[in-house]
Amino acid sequence: MTVRNILPWGLAAILLLAGHIFLTEAQGMDQQEHKGQAQKIVQTAGRDRLGDFAPDFARYNDDILFGEVWSRNDKLSLHDRSIVTVSALIASGMLDSSLKFHLASAKKNGVTKEEMVEIITQLGFYAGWPKAWAAFGMAKEVYAEEK
């Protein structure tokens, strides 16, 4: 291999590394801007639906899952939590009203239609094509609705 053959590959590697460093720094700055700005999530769905039947479970849902875990959005953004949650629901086959709720939450939390299409497409290969088809049907409804 000659220097002439190596040079383009070396230049390409340097450009890729520079791009990665730039993106990493930009993401770090973005995370610094949002650090310490946790948004408290208030949820009442557990108490509304199960409060009289399973009050402890309702409290865990509203106060722990949403009131504590989802409220740590200074550590992981609501945008990213929504992506993780939607992905987990689709992968596990939970293609019911909880997925529709979390798709709507993802939209509200800034996950764009284009991002959701890419997420579900990716999941189709790893979680299953039929799950992706079903999720696309729901996502299409959610993203068609006005904000």
Radius of gyration of the chain, Cα coordinates, nearest whole angstrom: 20
Q: Give residue-wise pLDDT tens across range 71-80.
A: 999 999 999 9
Is 102 found in the same domain as 83?
yes
Q: For residue 109, what is the domain's CATH number?
A: 1.20.1290.10
Same domain as 101, residue 127:
yes
- Name, in order, each residue with C-beta under 8 angstroms of 100's C-beta and a sequence gap of 6 or more: 138, 141, 142
Q: Among 59, 64, 141, which Cα is nearest to 103's?
A: 141
Same domain, 59 and 82: no
Distance CA 45, CA 48 (A): 5
| Tens-digit pLDDT profile for residues 76-122 | 999 999 999 999 999 999 999 999 999 999 999 999 999 999 999 99
Question: What letter would DSSP give residue 47?
Answer: H
Dist. CA 64–CA 92, nearest whole Å:
22
Is the pLDDT score of 66 beyond 80?
Answer: yes
Note down the domain range covering 56.
37-75
Q: pTM value? A: 0.71
Tell whether 95 and 134 lie within a shared domain.
yes
Between helices 113-126 and 78-91, what is the axis angle to 10°?
A: 40
Alpha-carbon distance of 1 to 3, in angstroms, equals: 7
